[in-house]
Amino acid sequence: MSEGGITLSLPPLLEKDPLIAKKQKVLQARSITLEFQISVSGLACEDEALQVLDKMVQAARVLYLDELELYFAGEDDTGPFSPRNELESLNLVLDVLSSSHQNTTNEKQQILHMLADRVVKMIESFGIKHTEEMMIEKDKYDANDLLLKWGEDNGVRTKLQIAHYEGAGRGAVAVEDVNVGEIALEVPESILISEEVLSESDMFQVLNGTDGMTTETMLLLWSMKERYNPNSRFRVYFDSLPQEFNTGLSFGIDALSVLEGTLLFEEILQAKQHLHEQYEAICPVLCSTYPDIFLPTLYTWDKFLWACELWYSNGIKVVFADRKLRMCLVPIAGLLNHSLCPHILHYGKVDQVSKLLKFTLSRPCKEGEQCYLSYGSYSGSHLVTFYGFLPKGENPYDVIPLDIDAPKVEDLSSQPSTSGSDWTTHMVRKPGSFKKNGNYGLPPPLLAHLRAALQEDDIVLHPEMSNSSIINKENERAVLETLISIFDPMMEGLTDADCHDSGDSSWDIKLAQEFKKLHREIISSVIAACSSGLEMLDHL
Ligand SMILES: C[S@@+](CC[C@H](N)C(=O)[O-])C[C@H]1O[C@@H](n2cnc3c(N)ncnc32)[C@H](O)[C@@H]1O
Measured by CA distance, the residue closest to atom 23 of ligand 1 is: 168
Cα→Cα distances 463→24, 401, 419, 422, Å: 20, 21, 8, 12
Residue whose C-alpha is closest to residue 93's, from 126, 52, 127, 60: 60
**C-alpha span between 93 and 97 (Å, rounded):** 6
**C-alpha span between 58 and 38 (Å, rounded):** 16
Judged by average pLDDT, the poorest of 98-102, 154-158, 366-370, 449-453 is 98-102
User: Is any ligand 1 atom within 6 A of the Cβ of residue 304?
Assistant: no
Q: Of how many residues is the chain composed? A: 540
In this prediction, the answer to ipTM > 0.95 reads yes
Is it the case that residue 405 has pLDDT exceeding 90? Answer: no
Judged by average pLDDT, the poorest of 130-139, 151-160, 180-189, 191-200 is 130-139
Cα→Cα distances 473→453, 455, 458, Å: 15, 11, 15
For 400, phi and psi rounded to 5 degrees? -110, 115
Choose the residue to mutate in 387, 390, 392, 395 for probing ligand 1, maximizing ligand atoms within 8 Å of C-beta: 387
Distance 325 CA to ligand 1 centre (A): 24
User: Is any ligand 1 atom within 6 A of the Cβ of residue 240?
Assistant: no
Choose the residue to mutate in 313, 332, 336 for probing ligand 1, maximizing ligand atoms within 8 Å of C-beta: 313
pLDDT at residue 41, rounded to an integer: 75
Choose the residue to mutate in 239, 245, 338 for probing ligand 1, maximizing ligand atoms within 8 Å of C-beta: 338
Measured by CA distance, the residue closest to atom 10 of ligand 1 is: 313
Q: What is the dihedral of CA 160, 375, 233, 200, to 10 degrees?
A: -150
Q: What is the 8-class DSSP label of residue 336?
A: P
Distance 387 CA to ligand 1 centre (A): 7
pLDDT at residue 425, rounded to an integer: 92
Is it the case that residue 235 has pLDDT exceeding 80? Answer: yes
Distance 127 CA to ligand 1 centre (A): 20
Residue whose C-alpha is closest to residue 59's, from 8, 18, 4, 103: 8
Residue type, 341: C
At residue 417 the predicted structure's pLDDT band, cuts being 50, 70 and 90, is: very low
Distance 341 CA to ligand 1 centre (A): 15
User: Is any ligand 1 atom within 6 A of the Cβ of residue 335?
Assistant: yes
At residue 463 the predicted structure's pLDDT band, cuts being 50, 70 and 90, is: very low
Is it the case that residue 77 has pLDDT exceeding 80? Answer: yes
- Of residues 228 and 416, more confidence is placed in 228
Distance 169 CA to ligand 1 centre (A): 6
**Taking residues 433-449, what's their average pLDDT?**
78
- Measured from the CA of 309, which atom of ligand 1 is nearest? 27
Distance 373 CA to ligand 1 centre (A): 10
- Of residues 144 and 529, more confidence is placed in 529
Is it the case that residue 290 has pLDDT exceeding 70? Answer: yes
pLDDT at residue 141, rounded to an integer: 57
Distance 338 CA to ligand 1 centre (A): 7
- Of residues 42 and 329, more confidence is placed in 329
Handedness of CA 326, 332, 333, 339 (dihedral sign): positive
**C-alpha span between 223 and 229 (Å, rounded):** 10
Q: What is the dihedral of CA 359, 361, 362, 366, to 10 degrees?
A: 150
pTM equals: 0.92
370-395: pLDDT as tens digits: 999 999 999 999 999 999 999 999 99
- Measured from the CA of 169, which atom of ligand 1 is nearest? 8
243-260: pLDDT as tens digits: 999 999 999 999 999 999
User: Is any ligand 1 atom within 6 A of the Cβ of residue 382?
Assistant: no
At residue 505 the predicted structure's pLDDT band, cuts being 50, 70 and 90, is: confident
Cα→Cα distances 413→311, 407, 408, 410, 457, Å: 43, 10, 10, 6, 21
User: Is any ligand 1 atom within 6 A of the Cβ of residue 388?
Assistant: yes
Distance 299 CA to ligand 1 centre (A): 25
User: Is any ligand 1 atom within 6 A of the Cβ of residue 248?
Assistant: no
Q: Is 360 helix (H, G, I), strand (E, B) or coil?
A: strand
pLDDT above 70 covers a percentage of the chain that reads 89
Judged by average pLDDT, the poorest of 72-76, 101-105, 420-424 is 420-424
Handedness of CA 381, 383, 388, 394 (dihedral sign): negative
User: Is any ligand 1 atom within 6 A of the Cβ of residue 337?
Assistant: yes
The answer, yes or no, to whether the previous bond of 188 is cis (omega within 30 of 0) is no
pLDDT at residue 154, rounded to an integer: 98
User: Is any ligand 1 atom within 6 A of the Cβ of residue 170?
Assistant: yes
pLDDT at residue 420, rounded to an integer: 47
- Of residues 268 and 101, more confidence is placed in 268
Strand partners, 158: 185
For 127, phi and psi rounded to 5 degrees? -60, -45
pLDDT at residue 469, rounded to an integer: 45
**Taking residues 84-113, what's their average pLDDT?**
92
Q: Is 398 helix (H, G, I), strand (E, B) or coil?
A: coil
User: Is any ligand 1 atom within 6 A of the Cβ of residue 80?
Assistant: no
The packing angle between helices 473-492 and 507-538, to 10°, is 160
pLDDT at residue 101, rounded to an integer: 77
